[in-house]
Structure 1
């Protein structure tokens, strides 16, 4: 059976929950489209995030990799097209790192295209009635750091053929229930809907 490594970040930025982590916990151990789904929790810390995924890649030897992160304010599931070689953190990570205009990898190219079938994934989710789109920016925080870092690592190790990429997801309803004012009006998506969306997404993998 093929193996899918899926990762979810820990809470950050003052949040007590991260929808990415809650989602991957629900997917862990499932078999979807012939893939055994293997989940890992990732720290929101520069360099440490990639270290954890590097170890998981060595252990699991996956046939595909999907990294998942929270994008508060986005209304749908967004599959990222590109990772860029810059760390420019608008807020500190969970250990206080806040690089400005620094490379993810000094020896790396400007950018890498994600190697997941992004258009097919989005189409599958839309066909399943789940709001989804392609995104052309993963930002410049730890999400992009990990997207670029994983693609760079796979390229350096001669494993660029492994489909890999990043997916951003909206807030959970519970995250908005504790807020007041305009912030409580950010779009949300339930874990149940997210699981449906990711099931359709994984079915797009060969």
Structure 2
């Protein structure tokens, strides 16, 4: 009898449009990334609302339904020129703009009495190296902001730390899509290119347990 290794189950999440935008490249790229099979991986997707609280409820539902081994949460970081793999999630909501439900928390903890921060459990430097090897710009980021992206990143990390230790997960920020910046001078990347990067990140995370020991720090 021949035994087969089950595929690594990967859950990609992206966000609904927010702040009056017609689209969100995080969800576009997630759907594109999962549309084509990837050897050794079973790819699943979920669209999260850009709403404090409700986004974590939707995330938990998606995790319960898909039972992933890896979670790669994705969000838009308009103004950034590259794919940024986040290192740290902070236990704070501090909104410069309202979420899609009109909430605008200021200096509120995501989890009362939770740790001040969590580090990603993805091999972030190996993921960055893989995206670069695919010919796309990438870097490690040391701030996921304090909007709903960080809210989801921290909520995911807290779930992993307290309830789901068998899962590994983290967060990736992506630039604007080209159609979002036709009227302004801002960097962008095509959705297909971002999807390629996300597939590289998922494949790398699935096969890598020990991260690269290379410098990807920031001086400011």
The answer as to whether partners of 2:177 and 2:191 remain within 8 angstroms in 1 is yes
Deviations 1:14-50 (A, max 9, x none): 1110000111111234332411110001000000000
Structure-2 residue corresponding to 1:173? 178
Q: Are 2:63 and 1:57 equivalent residues in the alignment?
A: yes
Please state if 1:187 is matched with 2:187.
yes
> What's the C-alpha RMSD, in Å, of the aligned pairs?
1.1
Q: Does 1:204 align with 2:204?
A: yes
Contact 1:30 1:36 in 2 (8 A): no
Matched-pair contact (CA < 8 Å) for 1:32–1:202:
no
Give distance in 2, aligned partners of 1:160 and 1:103: 22
Q: TM-score, normalised by structure 2?
A: 0.88
The residue correspondences of 1:14-29 to structure 2 (distance < 5 A) are 14-29=20-35
Runs of at least 5 residues in structure 1 that lack an aligned partner in the other structure: none
> 2:121 maps to which residue?
115
Question: Which runs of 5 or more structure 2 residues have no equivalent in the other structure?
Answer: 1-6, 208-220
Q: Which residue of 1 aligns with 2:46?
A: 40
Partners of 1:155 and 1:167 lie apart in 2 by 19
Q: Is the 8 A contact 1:3 1:63 kept in 2?
A: yes
CA distance in structure 2 between the aligned counterparts of 1:94 and 1:11, rounded to whole angstroms? 9
Contact 1:65 1:162 (8 Å CA) reproduced:
yes
Question: Of residues 149, 156, 174 in structure 2, which corresponds to 1:143?
Answer: 149
Inter-partner Cα distance in structure 1 for 2:113 and 2:35: 36
In 2, are the aligned partners of 1:82 and 1:112 still within 8 Å (CA)?
yes
TM-score relative to the length of structure 1:
0.94
Output the CA distance in 1 between the equivalents of 2:38 and 2:94: 36
Following superposition, the deviation at residue 141 of structure 1 comes to 0.3
Q: What is the CA deviation profile of residues 61-104 of structure 1, one whole-angstrom value per residue up to 9, with x for unaligned ones?
A: 10100000000000000000000000001100000000000000
> 4+ runs of 1 displaced by more than 4 Å?
none
How many equivalent pairs are there?
200
Which whole-Å CA distance do the structure 2 matches of 1:160 and 1:143 have between them? 21
